[in-house]
Amino acid sequence: MDITILKQTAQALVAPGKGILAADESTKTIAKRLEKIGVESNPEINLAYRKMLFTTPGIEQYLSGVILYDETIRQSIDSASVPQYLAGKGIIPGIKVDKGAWLLPNFPEEKVTEGLDGLRDRLTEYKEIGAKFAKWRAVITIGEEIPTDTCIEANAEVLARYAALCQEQDIVPVVEPEVLMDADNDLERCKEVTTMTLKKVFERLSAHKVVLEGMLLKPNMVISGKKSPTQASSQEVAEATVKTFLEVVPGQVPGIVFLSGGQTPNQATENLAEINKVPGSPWQMSFSYGRALQDEALTTWAGKEENVRAAQQAFLERAKKVGESLAEYARKAIKEQVKKDKKKKVND
């Protein structure tokens, strides 16, 4: 393990004004997305869609990294492997390494993510191909009498083992414990479950000696469930999210890259901007969005070559909206810190 490499990569992934594109949809998921626009999925079509995203002129201004799927990381763009192409644009290539969430035995309403078997060998191969960071997603469902401690503990343990294996290969682990927003729970219930989940995750990360400075956290925002009759405002989401994380996320973690979790592009953009307005966070607050960055471009593209330029423009505009709002608050934070430093020098 080279801690210096891990720290450098983690910090680069949360550079001010930049975030991560989650383009790691599984074969099943990408097929569903393409079906909605009347396109049948296959490796060539999947690559054509992702190539449209990756080759967007200027997108490197707002993307620090891209999470790839196993199929994509082995493909090529313009005679270069996808990781080489991205790296050539200054974008760090990453890889999804989990094998999906499966039913937890004896807990029919809950899931645990699998994929630890053979992970060390897969990470070695992905590193050789060019991956610098990885992602593992765990899902926590809110419902009647769930989540259970068993579900949270099982997912926290595999997240920690995954993270330790990544760091062994100098690959930055993006740790993603997602509390789903599909139920009718209110903001307070989401805060309660998110707190329980993150406490257990960091307990297990510590037990497995994961270097916190060389990882990133990809969590849900503290947000109302989609079916809740009372929907919290962006300001309420931001305040609850930051308050929760200040209670349970260690300051050594260099950055938090939020998932969009089923929010619309506008919701995900606005909520993240409000989160960055809340003072007191020791972490760089950024994004690792999938649908929130892609949906407008996907609809515009519709599988047609003649729509590529318009789709790229839609993609760039959304990334710009998210990235520039982050940069705005990053600049303000830097200015405030400079003022504090000057004042401290005068007082000294």
Catalytic residue numbers read: 176, 218
H helix runs in the chain, sequence order: 3-13, 27-35, 43-54, 70-73, 82-88, 119-129, 149-168, 187-207, 234-248, 265-277, 291-301, 308-347
Residue the block writes with tokens 């009372």: 230
Task: Provide the residue type at 141 as one letter.
Answer: T
Task: Provide the residue type at 31 as one letter.
Answer: A
Cα–Cα distance between 333 and 325 in angstroms, integer? 13
Q: Is 132 helix (H, G, I), strand (E, B) or coil?
A: coil
Q: Is 193 helix (H, G, I), strand (E, B) or coil?
A: helix
Phi-psi region at 281: left, alpha or beta (left = phi > 0; alpha = psi -120 to 50): beta
β-pair type (101-104, 107-113): antiparallel
Q: Is 236 helix (H, G, I), strand (E, B) or coil?
A: helix
Cα–Cα distance between 255 and 286 in angstroms, integer? 7
CA distance readout (Å), 140 to 86, 236, 295? 32, 22, 24
347 by Cβ neighbours in 10 Å (0-12 / 13-18 / 19+) ranks as: exposed
Determine contact, residues 94/123, Cβ cutoff 8 Å.
no
β-pair type (172-179, 133-140): parallel
Residue the block writes with tokens 């400075």: 213
Structure tokens at 193: 């479950």
